Structure 1
C-alpha cells in the first residue's frame, strides 16, 4: 500500500512533469474507478495542469485554481508513465485502469494490482469535497506537525497503538509498513493500548513517528515512479523482514496477525521477548 513518503514523491514528480501540460486524452478502462459520475475525468479534457500535491495517501492534481483531480491509490494502486516511457517494461505489470494523455505526448497510467478495485478518482472544485480528504487527521510529514497534535491523536486512546497510527482520521499518511517501522524505532509493542503508554513511551513514539516519516519522505524524494516501490522495500528495517535478523539486536523478526493482514516486529526490542499470535 502506498503511504505518505511514496505518495509525496509521486505528487512531486507529477507536478514537475505535468505542470503547464494540457490533457488531450482520457481512457477510463474500469468505470468503477470514477467516483464522481457527474464529473468524470473526461470533463477535464483541454484543461492544463497547475500543479500536484498530496493529502495523506491521496494525490491532488490541480487543473486551474478551482478544479482538482483527486486520486486515491487504495491498497494496490500506483502510477506509471506510458507511451515512450514504457520501454523495457516487464510483462507482468498490473493493467492500467485509467490512462491520461497530455499534449507533450506523455501519458500517465493509473494501475491497480489487487483482486478488487481500490483505485478511485474524483473531479471536484475543492479537495475537501472528497470524504477521505475531509476526514484526514494531522500529517506527521508536514513541518508544522506538533506534539500537541500528536497527543490529541494518540494519548489516552483505548485502541492498539498500531491501529491508532494507521487510522487516517487520527494521523494522515501512515499505513502498515511505516507503522511497523515507527514502533520498532520507538521500541513499543504494536499491540499495546495507546492509553497504557507511559509519558516516556509517548515521547519516544512521537519522535519516532516524525523521524521515520520525514526521513522516508526525504529519502524517496527524486526516486522515479518505477523505482519507488523497490526503494521503499529496501529501506524497511522490520516490515516485510520476517525471518531475518533485527538490525538493532540480532533477534529474529517475526510476523503477527493484525486486522486482515500481517505485520512484523522484533520480540527483543518491542515485546520483552514475548511472541505475538500469528494469523490462524
Structure 2
C-alpha cells in the first residue's frame, strides 16, 4: 500500500525557473525512502508539495490513495498525516520556548490542552530532550534545534515524516543519535522519507532510494540495487557508499557470495570480515 504518491508533478518558480518536470514517485507505507540528488534537483521542492505547502502547476499528490485537498480543512487533515522537518530548523522554530513550539501543531489540530500536554511530554521523551522543555528556542544549539523541530513534527503523530537533509549541520554524535531515533520510529511503523547528499546515510537508513536529477526521478528501487549501480550514480554525480564498494570488492574476490547481502553498516562489515577470517583459517 502506498502512503504518498506524486503523479506527474510540474512546478515553476516565479521568474520562469522550472523546479519539477513531470515528476512521479510512489512512497510505500512503512518503508524508509532516501531521495538523493545534487542541489537544484527538486528534492526540497517535492517535499513542499508532499505536505501541501506548494500546489503543483499540474499533476497531483495522493495521500493514502486520495487526492490531497488544498482547502483549509483538507490541508489540516493532510498535515495531520504528513509532517515535514525542514533542513534549517531556524526556518521552523518560532515560539518562545521548546514546549510552546512543540505544542503548536497539536493545538492547531484543535486538541485539548490535556491531550496537547500529553503529546508534548511524549515527544520530549522520545527525543530525550525533556531538560530543554522551558529553554528559549533561540538559545539552543544546532543539534538541539533539529531535535526540537522533529519533536514538533512527531507530536502531530503523522503517518509519514518528511526530513529535508536531516543530518545537515550536525556533528557525528548528534547524527548518530538522530539515526538511532529514526530507526526506532521506522520500527514502530512510521513511513520515513528523507533527502540527503550522503550516500552512506542512505545505505545505513533507507529501504529504498530514488535518484533525482533536473526535476525528475532518474531511478528508484531497493537501496542495495540503486547504491551499487556505479553508472547510474555517476549520472547523478554520486558514487557508491564506501561499505558498498568494499562489499562489491569482497564479492569480486570471492569473499562474499553473490546471493549474500552487501554490508549496510559497520557491524555488517565486521561480520563479513569475521566470516572471511573463518574461511581463511579453515583453508589453512
Q: Compute the TM-score of the two structures, normalised by the length of structure 1.
A: 0.29
Instruction: Write 1 or 2 for the structure with the bigger share of helix.
Output: 2
Where relative contact order (Cα < 8 A, 6+ residues apart) is larger, the structure is 2
TM-score normalised by L of structure 2: 0.29
